[in-house]
Amino acid sequence: MAMLLMASAFMLMIAYACYSVYFYGGRWVSNPHNPRITSGKQSVIMGSITDRDGTVLAYTDEDGERRYNRNQETRLAVSQVVGDSGGKVSTGAETFHAQYMLGFRASVLERIGDALTGTPQRGDDIRLTVSERLSRYIGEVFPEGKRGAVVVLNYKTNEVLAMVSMPQFDPTDMDEALSDEQAGALINRATQGLYPPGSVFKIVTMASALQNLPDLDNFAFDCTGYYPVGSYNVTDASAHGVQTLTEAFVHSCNTTFAAISQDLGYERLGKTAEEMGFNENFLFGDMIVYNSSYPIDNLSPEDLAWSSIGQGRVLTTPMHMALIAAAVASGGVMHEPKLIADITTAQGGSRKLPSSDEGWRVMPATVAKTIEQAMIRTVKSGTGTRAALGNGYVVAGKTGSAEASDDKDVLSHAWFVGYITNDNAPYAVCVLVENGGSGGGVAAPVARKTLQKAINLGL
């Protein structure tokens, strides 16, 4: 019996190893110091990278040199997505998906065919889901001199349409990029930047309240502008008066959500946060997304209140918040974001990609619908009016202004997350402007321009 258990455990380990290599092989080879990558670049003609429309972003010339798009604005706009030939940006496609472009996924028959015909070994070509045109436009409308990120997803296909991180760098001039490393140009803030989410986290808190607290239809809270919790006061810019939960969401009322957090307790709110991906490892096949965190230890009432409005020890990435917005749009189901549209082999065939996930439910459909209605009202008449679109397009959204320092002279991080509800424009967006100030005043207009551009491009 013991031998049988050992054999079963051994087989499970082998199966898991095979599964990990197949689905998450990029993590195994993405270290730029991996000798196999160095060797491959010397003996294999590295494949090209294009955007969704076929615009060439990176390629290998006749002399074996790695080249990038001739337009500097294009190079800058997709810099963190594409990466660099030296692997300084290990999360970029140049390194993370080197397994394809260096031919590591080529079959034995493909390699035998190359050997018999004397054809130099060439890697696969990758077509990404991102739009170079949309990415370039985002760089143009992002607040000048500010750092941050913008993510755009198609919440029906799960494709990443744009993943722009500011500041940008030019992969043809890495000396300059490295000399300015303190500014963080090599960091993809969309997937690696961890920030307090501020009021956009109220999507999570509202979802938890709707699932755990009875009689919310009769809920009313009188916002006087401050709410004492322990030795602290949670404050609002003004007194909102008596309001329902939805009205508190629309007005982004801190005191109402702080009061609700005390009824929820840290276990129930923490459980909802974890169901939405906080404290979890996002082992996505196409990209690395850093882990968001929500404290689930025995919080003090003050910590719980601040956490419920996205402050305190809560941290998240713009990509994760875009996924949460997309999950609301999808009726409460979160999906893995896809960055690779397709892969073409050196022989002109199609490389089979892992099948698309069916998603995982993070909230009941009824809860998602209620939150959507609150997000629509937020853009129509609440804090997110500057994200509204015309021509019949309905935007659902949430603003956030997250305090980044105890120093009141330091501007808050400006957030906006949301999506277009129309079936013919299934775009979800997250905008983060570091120390931008007001989410409604700074991030929402960027979101509006970005969504309008996506519509105009017909992505």
Is the pLDDT confidence value at 17 over 50? Answer: no
- Shortest CA distance to 331 belongs to which of 356, 299, 358, 367? 367
Q: What's the confidence (pLDDT) of residue 20? A: 46
Is position 29 within any domain? no
Q: Identify the pLDDT of residue 36.
A: 58
Report pLDDT for 357. Answer: 73
Is residue 71, in this structure, part of any structural domain at all?
A: no
Q: Of residues 93 and 348, which shows the higher confidence score?
A: 93
pLDDT in tens, 222-252: 999 999 998 888 988 889 999 999 999 999 9
What is the spatial distance between Cα 223 and Cα 202, in angstroms, rounded to a whole number? 16
Query: The tokens of 381 are what?
Result: 């008449």
The total domain count for the chain is 1
- Digit-coded pLDDT (tens) for 369-427: 999 999 999 999 999 999 999 999 999 999 999 998 777 788 999 999 999 999 999 99
Q: Is residue 76 part of a domain?
A: no
Look at residue 323 in the predicted model and tell me its pLDDT.
98
Cis peptide before 426 (omega within 30 of 0): no
The confidence score (pLDDT) of residue 19 equals 44
Mean pLDDT across the chain: 89
- Whether 116 is covered by a domain: the verdict is no
Taking residues 108-137, report their average pLDDT. Answer: 81
| Burial of 307 (C-beta count, 10 Å sphere; 0-12/13-18/19+) | buried
Own/partner long-range contacts of 50-56 (Cβ < 8 Å, ≥24 apart) = 50/125, 50/126, 50/127, 50/128, 51/78, 51/127, 51/128, 51/130, 51/131, 51/132, 52/127, 52/128, 52/129, 52/130, 52/131, 52/159, 52/161, 52/341, 52/459, 53/131, 53/132, 53/133, 54/127, 55/132
**pLDDT tens-place string over residues 181-211:** 657 899 999 999 999 999 999 999 999 999 9
Residue 385, domain extent: 198-339+355-457
CB < 8 Å & 24+ apart, contacts of 368-373: 368/207, 368/327, 368/328, 368/330, 368/331, 368/332, 369/331, 370/210, 370/246, 371/203, 371/206, 371/207, 371/210, 371/249, 371/328, 372/328, 372/329, 372/396, 372/421, 373/246
Mean pLDDT score, 311-318 = 96
The fraction of the chain above a pLDDT of 70, given in percent, is: 86
pLDDT reported for residue 181:
61
Number of H helices and E strands in the chain, helices first, is 16, 16
pLDDT at 387: 98
Backbone angles phi, psi at 332, to 5 degrees: 100, 10
Which tens digits make up the pLDDT trace of 274-296? Answer: 999 999 999 899 999 999 999 98
277, amino acid identity: G
307 pLDDT higher than 90: yes
Residue 216: per-residue pLDDT? 86
Check whether 16 has a pLDDT greater than 50.
no
For residue 376, the domain's CATH number is 3.40.710.10
> Which of these, 149, 143, 13, lies nearest to 81 by C-alpha position?
149
DSSP secondary structure letters along 219-268: --EEE-SEEEETTEEEE-SS--EEE-HHHHHHTT-HHHHHHHHHHHHHHH
- Note the pTM of the prediction, 2 decimals: 0.90
Q: What is the pLDDT of residue 182?
A: 54
Q: What is the pLDDT of residues 30-85, one digit of tens each?
A: 555 565 555 556 668 999 999 999 999 999 998 889 999 999 999 999 999 999 99
Residue 106 maps to a domain: no
What pLDDT sits at residue 31? 56
- CB hemisphere CA count around 95 (13 angstroms): 23
Residue 237 belongs to some domain of the structure: yes
**DSSP letters along 23-48, please?**
HHHHHHH--TT-HHHHHHHHHSBPPP
In contact, 368 and 328? CB cutoff 8 Å: yes
Closest CA to 251 of 151, 377, 406: 377
Crossing angle of helices 254-275 and 202-212, in 10° steps, is 80
- CA-based Rg of the chain, rounded to a whole angstrom? 23
pLDDT tens for each residue of 315-343: 999 999 999 999 999 999 999 999 999 99
Asked whether residue 244 is domain-assigned, the answer is yes
pLDDT at 324 (0 to 100): 98
> Taking the CB of residue 348, how many other CB atoms lie within 10 A of it?
7
Is residue 213 one of the residues assigned to a domain? yes
